[in-house]
């Protein structure tokens, strides 16, 4: 059985949980508490040399980096698909995913927020402004693209990789109190996606390692 190393509130782990559920793949989870630094232990570093989650043990390999894991899942389990069939549609969906995966999420994850505080002396207000700025910048572009390509979901009327990236980023935006009112298309797509069983079962709040506190 596949084994997913992750953390309930990690956005990149959340993406992979959604895709595994959507593809109907059975997997077990190994939780690494990022607040305690569990992911920096020697045993885990042998699997993932960055000491970051997620990592997926599958087919005798260790797969790392959620964009690579998601593409691997799409190739290995093409049905049901998370990418359109045509090259042009694939490029639009992957661009939407990359706006979140490259230009929003990496700027706001735990190691960066710690560096802002510890190395640059940023206070919580400055950190919250930093988080909101990159989410709003990226979401503004994504809202415009959804106006062109979107339907019920970010791209057309079925869920794609773009929604797999969107939902965890919306979760993070809500957590940090970012104003989402300028992004009605994104919040509508996220609501539609969250209603699907694959997305609902991947929600951080229902993971075994979730901390209700």
Footprint on residues 140-199 left by a copy of itself (CB under 8 A):
140-141, 144-145
Contact with a copy of itself (CB under 8 A): which of 47, 98, 188, 210?
A: 98
Query: Under DSSP, is residue 24 helix (H, G, I), strand (E, B) or coil?
Result: coil
Our finding on whether 67 is near a copy of itself (CB under 8 A) is yes
Distance CA 115, CA 100 (A): 21
Q: Please, which of residues 70-89 interact with a copy of itself by CB under 8 A? A: 71-72, 75-76, 87-88
Residue written as token pair 């090259």: 87
Q: How far is the CB of 17 from a copy of itself (least distance, A)?
A: 18
- Per-residue binding string, a copy of itself, 40-59, x by CB under 8 A, is ---------xx-x------x
Q: Is 95 in the site for a copy of itself (CB under 8 A)?
A: yes
Please give the DSSP secondary-structure letter assigned to residue 40: G
Long-range contacts of 141-149 (CB under 8 A, 24+ apart): 141/99, 142/96, 142/99, 142/100, 142/166, 142/183, 142/186, 143/182, 143/183, 143/184, 143/185, 143/186, 145/92, 145/95, 145/96, 145/99, 146/96, 146/185, 146/186, 146/189, 147/185, 149/92, 149/96
Query: Of these, 107, 132, 196, 200, which contacts a copy of itself (CB under 8 A)?
Result: 107
Cβ-based nearer residue to a copy of itself, 122 or 210: 122
Q: In terms of CB distance, is 66 or 207 closer to a copy of itself?
A: 66
Chain contacts with a copy of itself (rule: CB under 8 A):
49-50, 52, 59, 61, 63-69, 71-72, 75-76, 87-88, 90-92, 94-95, 97-99, 101-103, 105-107, 112, 115-116, 119-120, 122, 126, 129-130, 133, 137-138, 140-141, 144-145
């Amino acid at each position: 059985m596949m084994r997913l190393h992750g953390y309930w509130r990690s956005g990149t782990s959340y993406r992979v949980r959604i895709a595994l559920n959507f593809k109907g793949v059975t997997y077990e989870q190994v939780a690494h508490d990022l607040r305690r630094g569990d992911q920096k232990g020697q045993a885990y570093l042998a699997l993932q040399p960055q000491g970051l989650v997620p990592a997926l043990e599958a087919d005798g390999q260790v797969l790392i980096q959620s964009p690579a894991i998601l593409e691997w899942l799409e190739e290995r389990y093409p049905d049901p698909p998370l990418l359109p069939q045509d090259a042009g549609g694939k490029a639009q969906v992957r661009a939407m995913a990359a706006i979140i995966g490259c230009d929003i999420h990496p700027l706001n994850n735990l190691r960066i927020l710690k560096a802002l505080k510890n190395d640059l002396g940023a206070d919580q207000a400055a950190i919250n402004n930093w988080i909101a700025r990159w989410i709003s910048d990226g979401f503004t572009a994504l809202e415009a693209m959804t106006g062109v390509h979107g339907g019920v979901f970010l791209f057309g009327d079925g869920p794609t990789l773009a929604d797999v990236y969107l939902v965890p980023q919306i979760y993070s935006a809500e957590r940090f109190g970012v104003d989402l009112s300028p992004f009605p298309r994104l919040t509508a797509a996220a609501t539609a996606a969250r209603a699907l069983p694959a997305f609902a079962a991947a929600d951080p709040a229902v993971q075994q390692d979730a901390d209700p506190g």
